[in-house]
Each structure stands twice: as C-alpha cells, then as structure tokens.
Amino acid sequence: MRASVSTPVAISPRLRLLQALDRRVGGALLRSVRPRAAGKTDEPLTEPGRVLVIRPGGLGDALLLWPLLDALRAAWPHAHFDVLAERRNAGAFALNPQHAGALRVLRYDAEPLQTWRTLRQQPYDLIIDTEQYHHLSTVLANALQPRWLCGFRTLGRGRLLTHAADHDEEAYEVRAFLRLGTALLGRELAFAPDTPFLAVGADAADFARSALPDRLSRVVALLPGAGGPYRRWAPARYGEVGAALAKQGCHLLLLGGADAAAAGVQIKALLPPGQVTNLIGRTSLPQTAALLQRCALALSADTGVLHLAYGVGTPTVGLFGSGLFRKWAPVGQAHRLVRVGLPCSPCTRQGRVPLCPHNVACMTELRTASVLTAAAELLA
C-alpha cells in the first residue's frame, strides 16, 4: 500500500515546542522587537519581485488560502512566490498544477536552520503572514527585514506591519484571507463561493476515473476522519446515513487518511458490499481531490478533506460541533451545514478547544435524520 499524502500528520515534537514557545514568550518578543519593514504603510503595492507567504497550521488553512494566491498571482504575474508551510499542510500547494514551477514550498519544521539560511539568502520585497493566533510567525517575518510586511492585526502584531487587515472569527476563512489582498492591492477582491478554486493534474484524474468508473452513478463520499474527538461523528452514524443512501441507489466512497482506517472498516461493514468502495489511507492528496470531483456529494465533519471537496466543486454536507462554523463551513448554494446548536457550541477560541464537560454533546447528539435531510436537498 502506498503512503497517503492525504493522511493527517500529527503535530511533531518540534512543532509542539514552537507552539509552547509562542504561548510563553511570543507575546513578549513581539512587543520588544522594533519594526524592520521599510516600505510605506498602507500604500497599494506595485508588483513586488519576491514574495513570501507564511502559512502554518493544518490542511484546511492551506487549501482555503488558494483564492488569495490566485488573486495575487493574477495581479502580479511576474512576481516570484515562496510559501513557508509545514509537513501537515505542504501538500495543499501541490494542487493547481497550472501554478507548477511558480510556487516554491519551504518547510520550517523539516530542517529549520537550513530553511532559515535559505530565507535569509534571498531577501523578500513582501512577506504575507497569514497566521492569526500566533506571535512568532510575525517576529520571524519582521526579522527577515522585508520592504513590506502584511498580516492581521491580532495579538498586537499590527505595530510591525506595513499593511494590516482586521480579523473576524465570524467571517469565512477565504474571505478573511482575501482581506490581506485588499490591504495590499487597495481594492476589494471578489470571491465566487460556487466556483471551484482547486484543480488536479491528468495523472490524478486518470486514477479517479479508474477507481470510480462512469457506470457508478451518484457517488457519495463519506469522510469519517477528523482532527480530534471533539470533531468526530460516530462511525455507526455514518453507516446509517450510507445505508439509507445506498437504498436510494447511491454508491458510497470512503475516503480519508490512515487515522480513519478503523472507522472505515466499521462503516463498510454496515453497507451493501456491492455499493461501497473503501480507499481510506490509499490515496494521495491530488488523487483524493480527483475522486471527490467525481462525487455527487461529500459528507464530512469539520476537517481538511471537507475543504478539499468544497475547493474542487463537490456539494458538501458539513457536520459542525465545537468548530467555528461561520469561519469554516463551506459557503454557497450547493453546501449545507448541520449542527445541534447547543448554547456552548461552538466553543473554539483563537484556535484552541477547551475540555468539554458535556461528553462532546455537540457531535454525539447530531442525528442521522438531519444529515439525510440535508443530503436529500443536494442530491435532488
């Protein structure tokens, strides 16, 4: 079995150390350093030569950055773009093959000293820090002494920025990122929520056609993985939904990383053998994207593969509990949000989820009837 690029990667000890440092000393560092960016503040930019985009975090954060990257690439067709990412989200920047060769991806968690030397050797005209809740990314960007530094004003980081945007946790993440583009270009950037913004290459498309031949009509993808227990929906519930959809003539496709393998086995056992294909843990990220493109619907909790389905234009039913649904739930006519709506939900604040005293009732009380109703609306 091949390694799966789509497998969610656990946060490494090195990243956990960086996060701990950020919590303990990041704020003090941010307040103590002096601004090093020398460009004029809040003045729309002419085309910069070299641009660095900083994007820590998970897969979803990186996927939803693409509309901003597309807008900036269109505005500055001759600029050279680098992306500073990490292992768990770097694969997102291998999508959209039309940009092949135009984006160089560097990983700060692979060889940090070598990466730092690489960044210092090639000065940047512009650095865009897309992080919202950490201090050290802006401290790092400031230390590289770009001419212009763009980011969000959160956590007091505005004092180091030449171009800043307000951040609103009630705004959809794509639109939040586009605010950075507005700060740089001096104009509003449009977002068409029903237009796909992710594409795959020919090899991935060929793989998907082989795995899901045209004779399979109305394929529904079930994506049972999630980044933590506070986001997961029970495999038995996915099985109930899948069995009901199978009776309506749908073929069920199970997708996700290796972390969802056990759930996939449980779900498959609840579905008619001839109406299910289990590819959990067996596909790369581009292959997963190509498979989702061939589906009539994707059903998922709040996780990176949900955003992948949205990005390639597949209708989605998103299951949300603790997560900020206004920030993360796909928007547009072909997408439905299902949530219980408890008074304590959502409880995520500044990227962190507190311990739940209610046995994650926001997910355990989410019933299959509501999910099937949303699925029926889209499949109709």
Q: For residue 343, what are the contacts with CB-CB under 8 A and spacing of at least 6?
A: none
What's the pLDDT band for 214 if we cut at 50, 70, 90?
Answer: confident
CA angle 349, 307, 254 (to 5 degrees): 115
- CA distance linking residue 342 with residue 349, whole number of Å: 16
Q: What is the rounded average pLDDT of the residues 252-276? A: 95
Which 3 state secondary structure label does DSSP give 151?
A: strand
pLDDT of 18 higher than 80 = no
Q: What percent of the chain has pLDDT over 70?
A: 96
Q: Which of 23-27, 31-35, 224-228, 349-353 comes out lowest in average pLDDT?
A: 349-353
Q: Quick one: pLDDT at residue 10?
A: 54
pLDDT, average across residues 54-65: 94
Q: What is the mean pLDDT of residues 147-155?
A: 95
pLDDT of 8 reads 44
Reported as a pLDDT band with limits 50, 70 and 90, residue 169 is: confident
Q: Which domains does the chain have, with CATH numbers?
A: 13-185 (3.40.50.2000), 202-379 (3.40.50.2000)
What is the structure's pLDDT at 176?
96
- Under a CB-based contact definition with an 8 Å cutoff, are residues 22 and 135 in contact? yes
Higher pLDDT: 25 or 124? It is 124
Q: If you average pLDDT over residues 192-210, what whole number do you get?
A: 96
Mean pLDDT (the chain, rounded): 91
Mean pLDDT for the stretch of residues 317-327:
92
Is the model's pTM score more than 0.95?
no
Residue 354 pLDDT exceeds 70? yes
Q: What is the mean pLDDT of residues 276-285?
A: 96
Q: What is the mean pLDDT of residues 48-75?
A: 95
Chain position carrying tokens 């794509």:
174
137 neighbors 54 (Cβ within 8 angstroms): yes
Structure tokens at 309: 């389905």
**In this predicted structure, what is the pLDDT of residue 6?**
41
User: For the residues 33-60, what does the mean pLDDT come to?
Assistant: 91
* 51 pLDDT more than 70: yes
- Over residues 66-109, the pLDDT tens digits come to 999 999 999 999 999 999 999 989 999 989 998 877 899 999 88
pLDDT of residue 323: 87
Instruction: Give the rounded distance of the alpha carbon of 243 from its chain centre.
Output: 29
Q: What is the token pair recorded at 108? A: 């700060």
Q: What confidence category does residue 130 fall into, taking pLDDT thresholds of 50, 70 and 90? A: very high
Mean per-residue pLDDT, 321-328: 90
State the Cα–Cα distance between residues 379 and 218, nearest whole angstrom. 8
**What local confidence, expressed as pLDDT, does residue 358 receive?**
83
